[in-house]
Amino acid sequence: MWHWECMRQRERRRDTVMASCLYYLIPALGGYSVASYFFLKNPHLLHARKHSAFHATHISHRGGCGEKLESTMEAFTHAVELGTHMLELDCHLTRDGQVVVSHDENLLRQTGSDVNISSLNYEELPLYKERLEVTFNTGHFSSGADRKLALLEDLFRKFPKMPVNIELKERNPALIDKVSELVKRYDREHLTVWATTSSSIMKICRSTNASMPYMFTVSRALWLLLLFYSGLLPFLPLGENFLQFYLPRVINRCVRVCVCVCVRARVCVRVRVCVCVYVCACARVCVCVMNEERTSCFSNCHASSPWRS
């Protein structure tokens, strides 16, 4: 009897302690949730509003690689004429120090020649194939009259007011220095965005030119998701201006997604995936789908965003 009485007393004490903990824990969690949601909806109360030089809901990936040969001046010109808001491109450095606009360092896929850009002078680079398969749309080919690899400087000179997203895939300080030099020479620090998936490369980019806006790297994007789902996002500052992240394809190979996340500042997200649904801080579910073949992108997020200026 004494043993059972002791057990019942322990259970009662345990229940009392749990009840006391829940008594304080539930209101605390409730208050935290309400505060997190409130500041997610009203980020300007905790953080200074970011003012960017442009807002892009229409982004031409490699210049709209399904309409013209990717990353050529003809493709970029065509995209600008259609009214694109931003040009997306990749850069590599030639042996003679020229910054070439090209997705791949090795030119086998694009030209049929198994050579690296870094091993040749600019004048020695081969021409694009006459017909080039679109990366995200098997069986679809693009073509154009312009088959020459473009120079970043020529792009800056021809489109001085067009925002450009430059993605760097290699840890090459000389390339980063050259890109930064061109950006400064053409007074484009407010219109040119650093982009890379690697945090180590982004660190070099930021140390080289901290005046340029920059994107989330993969690790920083995962950190962003963790902050969002834990409710901590509204309370911590973010230095990045844009988010580019990769998700599995779920429908077909022709569709991309552009996401606009309105958290403390309008953050533009480009996702090379099929489709995605996401929630803005303005409490609206927004979907922005871009066809990889085209340069067009349609979004119901831009007009409704409280950060639109």
pLDDT given for residue 250 in this prediction = 34
Q: How confident is the model at residue 5 (pLDDT cuts 50, 70, 90)?
A: low
Which residues lie below 8 Å from residue 106, measured CB to CB, with a gap of 6+?
114, 115, 116, 117
Q: Which residue has the higher pLDDT, 79 or 56?
A: 79
pLDDT given for residue 264 in this prediction = 35
What whole-number distance in Å separates Cα of residue 56 and Cα of residue 270? 10
Q: Give the N- to C-terminal CA distance of the chain in Å, as an integer.
A: 75
Q: How many CB atoms lie within 10 A of CB 147?
A: 17
Q: Which residue has the higher pLDDT, 139 or 12?
A: 139
Residue 4's Cβ-side half-sphere holds a number of Cα atoms within 13 Å equal to 1
Q: How confident is the model at residue 303 (pLDDT cuts 50, 70, 90)?
A: very low
Q: Which two tokens stand for residue 272?
A: 């090379």
Give the pLDDT confidence of 20-48 residue by residue, as tens digits.
Answer: 777 778 888 889 999 999 999 998 899 88
244: pLDDT strictly greater than 70: no
Task: Please list the residues that pair with 92 across neighbouring strands.
Answer: 100
Report yes or no: 127 and 111 within 8 Å, Cβ to Cβ: yes
Three-state DSSP string of the chain: CHHHHHHHHHHHHHHHHHHHHHHHHHHHHHHHHHHHHHHHHCHHHCCCCCCCCCCCCCEEECCCCCCCCCCCHHHHHHHHHCCCCEEEEEEEECCCCCEEECCCCECHHHHCCCCEHHHCCHHHCCCCCCEEECCCCCCCEEECCCCCCEEHHHHHHHCCCCCEEEECCCCCHHHHHHHHHHHHHCCCCCCEEEECCCHHHHHHHHHHCCCCCEEECHHHHHHHHHHHHHCCHHHCCCCCCEEEECCCCCCCCCEEEEEEEEECEEEEEEECCCCCCEECCCCCEECEEEECCCCCEEECCCCCCCCCC
278: pLDDT strictly greater than 80: no
Q: Which residue has the higher pLDDT, 290 or 214?
A: 214
Q: How confident is the model at residue 139 (pLDDT cuts 50, 70, 90)?
A: confident
What whole-number distance in Å separates Cα of residue 67 and Cα of residue 258? 19
pLDDT given for residue 245 in this prediction = 53
Query: What percentage of the chain carries pLDDT values higher than 70?
Result: 75
Give the pLDDT confidence of 75-101 residue by residue, as tens digits.
Answer: 999 999 999 999 999 999 999 999 999
What whole-number distance in Å separates Cα of residue 133 and Cα of residue 112? 12
231: pLDDT strictly greater than 50: yes
Give the pLDDT confidence of 186-207 residue by residue, as tens digits.
Answer: 999 999 999 999 999 999 999 9
What's the predicted TM-score (pTM) here? 0.72
What whole-number distance in Å separates Cα of residue 159 and Cα of residue 192? 12
259: pLDDT strictly greater than 90: no
Give the pLDDT confidence of 143-202 residue by residue, as tens digits.
Answer: 999 999 999 999 999 999 999 999 999 999 999 999 999 999 999 999 999 999 999 999
Mean pLDDT of 234-263: 56
256: pLDDT strictly greater than 70: no
285: pLDDT strictly greater than 70: no
Q: Which residue has the higher pLDDT, 55 or 79?
A: 79
Q: In terms of Cα–Cα distance, which of 78, 58, 55 is closest to 289?
A: 58
Q: How many CB atoms lie within 10 A of CB 78?
A: 19
Torsion of CA 217, 218, 220, 226, to 10 degrees: 160
User: Considering the chain, what is the average pLDDT of its residues?
Assistant: 78
